[in-house]
Amino acid sequence: MAFLLTILGSSSALPTSERHPAAHVLNIHERFFLIDCGEGTQMQLRKYRIRMGKLHHIFISHVHGDHVFGIYGLLSSLSLLGREYPLHVYAPSHFGALLRQHLADFDIHLGYELVFHPLHHSRSEKIYEDDRLMVETLPLKHRVPALGFLFREKPRPRNIFPEMIKKYNMSLKQIRQVKDGNDLELDNGTRVPFDELTYSKHVPVSYAYCSDTVYTESFLGKIRNVDVLYHEATYDGAMEKRAAETGHSTSLQAATLARKAGAGKLILGHFSARYKQIEPLVEEAQTIFPQTVAAVEGETYEVLPGGLPGSLSG
């Protein structure tokens, strides 16, 4: 299981007895990424048995309390637990000073290096890359500078068909050249295309996180054909005016964006506390985009090509 998503929080600004503020965890090839850190995030991590010490990167979409209030306690707990290796925080640029000031105000002395990465909120940029993954920002439209995040796997090296090695009696040197992405050049000058010689066992997948924002298509090109799209749905379709006034979206708007993007699956979240039951929001979204589900706290999903097949957790 290479690309796993766990929902820690699905509520908007006001938590409920059943829903917590925003937080998602991605486990990508045993590399753990936390997206947003609302109040109670560290308790949710413990509840769902995700080791805090495995977190190396925290992405903050914007500086509203329901997305950041949990970070101070989490950073403090990591220090109390003896963390020594660096922790990277990616957030809108003005959060850096706030973070440092609040840590000082709370007399929190970290035993590890906290590396802050200031993000531009007006344009998309690549903010993280390793051998298997790339992360880009998605400019959102909210009451304060806000960003979404696009996590995209990189293609893995292709394998050579065994029958091709046999057919062309390939030498070790030729095998290495093809593995490096080159065509095969035969003794008679003929070239056999790389794609004809090789195959891939793995199809890269992608996940886009979009919260909080009014309806906007400004990043539509970036999320084209994304496998799983998480989009806020603070309100139902009848509350479109209220959504616009507060810088949020409706379930119908989220579904419209998913349809236009050609997403594999849509996860709705960031539900207003006014909704005791969220099924009606999902059902109305499904009238536009049938492959819609609700963010359910504690559920872990495997992200696969074309979308989200279902929960892996009990």
| Contact present, 194 and 181 (Cβ < 8 Å) | yes
33 and 175 share one domain: no
Residue 172 belongs to domain spanning: 159-198
The 3-state DSSP class for residue 3 equals strand
Order across the sheet with 55-59: list the strands: 114-119, 87-92, 55-59, 31-35, 23-28, 3-9, 300-302
* pLDDT score for 13: 87
Judge if 285 and 163 occupy the same domain.
no
Task: Please check whether residues 57 and 164 belong to one and the same domain.
Answer: no
Say yes or no: 167 and 192 in one domain: yes
Q: Distance between CA 285 and CA 266 in Å, rounded?
A: 9
On whether both 223 and 272 belong to a single domain, the answer is yes
> Residues of the chain with pLDDT > 70: what percent?
97
Count of the separate structural domains present in the chain: 2
Give every CB contact of residue 306 below 8 A, 6+ residues apart in sequence: 227, 264, 265
Report the C-alpha gap between 51 and 44 in whole angstroms: 11
Q: Is the pLDDT of residue 21 over 50?
A: yes
What's the angle, vertex CA 132, arms to CA 126 and CA 133, rounded to 5? 30
Is 0.85 topped by the overall pTM?
yes
My answer on whether 30 and 174 are in the same domain is: no
Q: What is the pLDDT of residue 314?
A: 43
State the pLDDT confidence band at 202, using cuts at 50, 70 and 90: confident
**Has residue 309 been placed in a domain?**
no
Q: Give yes or no: residues 219 and 254 share one domain.
A: yes
User: Do 112 and 59 fall within a single domain?
Assistant: yes
- For residue range 27-41, list pLDDT tens digits in order: 999 999 999 999 999
Which is the catalytic residue, given 36, 66, 227, 236? 66
Mind listing the pLDDT tens digit for each residue in 120-161?
988 999 999 999 999 999 999 999 999 999 999 998 888 899
Determine the Cα–Cα distance for residues 289 and 283; give it in Å rounded to an integer: 10
How far apart CA 223 and CA 113 sit, in angstroms, is 33
In 3D space, the residue among 147, 24, 132, 22 whose CA is nearest the CA of residue 90 turns out to be: 147
- Average pLDDT value over all residues in the chain: 94
Rounded (5°) CA angle 156-162-163? 130
- Percent residues over pLDDT 90 in the chain: 84
User: 188 and 95, same structural domain?
Assistant: no
Q: How many CB atoms lie within 10 A of CB 198?
A: 17
pLDDT at 201: 79
Active site residue 66: yes
Assess if residue 312 is contained within a domain: no
For residue 273, being part of any structural domain is answered with yes
